């Protein structure tokens, strides 16, 4: 075995060991907060830098599984770490998987599992990533829903539905996501022309219809606001002339 292959194998075993340790950690041996504060930062320092700097083919998909496990297990205790995780793995992985629907199959499945986990357990952390990344988050969900792999399409639909519910619970602080959401033709995204959508499991159809309904309501609200804004301008314009100082 070459030195490179041996190092890759060793790296994979270390990742699996970390995944197992974090997944099985907890009271009474150790509190989640203790792991989040004293262990996770050390893991991020090493693994994120290595993943981000590597060429595409050298990035191990188990890194995404590790971070999914971290979020699922530690939840609110790693809110401050999520932006750093996103900065390290989000954009570079998204670029890897969006060239087509076939390359890096493990990365694409684990990538959307990570997004689903963050959206479900650490949504408020997504307010602390740059606006460009917020838009990219929404774009990645739409990409997932249009995917030819049914499991990824279902995951994308579930992420979108949960995202809309989360945005609805915090509309004032989720403006970046509201803007991105209202710029997408969700009916086309949720029910694309591709025939793969008709192979979605039966239990997913109610979620899809609810999601389309929520999206349509967002679009209608946006149209009402635009009309109201135009009406106010028309009504106020004559008054503005009256108060203009000559």
* Residue 63: closest CA among 49, 51, 80: 51
Q: In residues, how long is the chain?
A: 246
Per-residue b or e along 5-44, where b marks 16 or more CB atoms closer than 10 Å to that residue's CB: eeeeeebeeebeebbeebeebeeeeeebeebbeebbeebb
Contact 70, 78 (CB under 8 A): yes
How many Å is the Cα radius of gyration of the chain? Answer: 22
Q: Which of 106, 84, 85 is nearest to 97 (CA)?
A: 106
Q: CB–CB of 190/215 below 8 Å?
A: yes
Cβ–Cβ contacts within 10 Å for residue 242, how many? 6
Give the pair of three-digit tokens for residue 196: 């793969």
The pTM score is 0.78
Task: Return the number of other C-beta atoms located less than 10 Å from residue 238's C-beta.
Answer: 8
Kindly tell me the burial class for residue 185, based on how many C-beta atoms sit within 10 Å of its own C-beta (0-12, 13-18, 19 or more).
exposed
Do the beta carbons of residue 201 and residue 154 sit within 8 Å?
yes
In whole angstroms, give the CA distance from residue 69 to residue 118: 10
User: 52 and 99 in contact (C-beta within 8 Å)?
Assistant: no
Q: What pLDDT is recorded for position 110?
A: 97
Q: What integer pLDDT is reported at residue 201 of this predicted model?
A: 54
Q: Return the closest-CA partner of residue 208 out of 169, 159, 171, 166.
A: 159
Q: How many CB atoms lie within 10 A of CB 193?
A: 7
pLDDT values of the chain reduced to their tens digit, one per residue, 246 residues: 577 788 888 889 999 999 999 999 888 888 999 999 999 999 998 999 999 999 998 999 999 999 999 999 999 999 999 999 999 999 999 999 998 889 999 999 999 999 999 999 999 998 888 888 888 998 898 888 888 888 888 888 888 878 878 877 776 666 666 666 656 555 545 554 445 444 455 555 566 566 556 555 655 655 554 554 454 344 444 434 443 444
How many angstroms separate the CA atoms of 11 and 47, rounded?
Answer: 10
pLDDT given at position 179: 64
């Amino acid at each position: 075995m070459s030195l490179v292959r041996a190092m890759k194998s060793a790296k994979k075993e270390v990742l699996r060991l970390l995944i197992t340790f974090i997944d099985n950690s907890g009271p009474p041996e150790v509190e989640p907060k203790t792991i989040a504060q004293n262990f996770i930062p050390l893991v991020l320092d090493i693994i994120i830098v290595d993943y981000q700097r590597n060429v595409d083919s050298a990035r191990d998909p188990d890194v995404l599984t590790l971070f999914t496990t971290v979020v699922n297990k530690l939840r609110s205790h790693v809110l401050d770490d999520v932006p750093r995780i996103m900065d390290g793995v989000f954009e570079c992985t998204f670029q890897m998987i969006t060239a087509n629907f076939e390359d890096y199959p493990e990365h694409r499945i684990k990538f959307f599992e990570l997004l689903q986990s963050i959206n479900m357990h650490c949504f408020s952390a997504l307010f602390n990533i740059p606006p460009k990344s917020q838009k990219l988050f929404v774009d990645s969900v739409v990409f997932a829903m249009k995917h030819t792999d049914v499991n990824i399409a279902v995951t994308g639909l579930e992420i979108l539905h949960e995202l809309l519910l989360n945005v609805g619970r915090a509309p004032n602080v989720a403006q970046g996501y509201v803007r991105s959401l209202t710029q997408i033709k969700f009916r086309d995204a949720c029910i694309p022309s591709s025939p793969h959508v008709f192979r979605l499991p039966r239990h997913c159809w109610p979620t899809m219809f609810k999601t389309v309904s929520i999206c349509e309501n967002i679009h209608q609200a946006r149209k009402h606001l635009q009309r109201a804004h135009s009406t106010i301008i028309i009504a106020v314009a004559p008054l503005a002339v009256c108060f203009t100082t000559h």
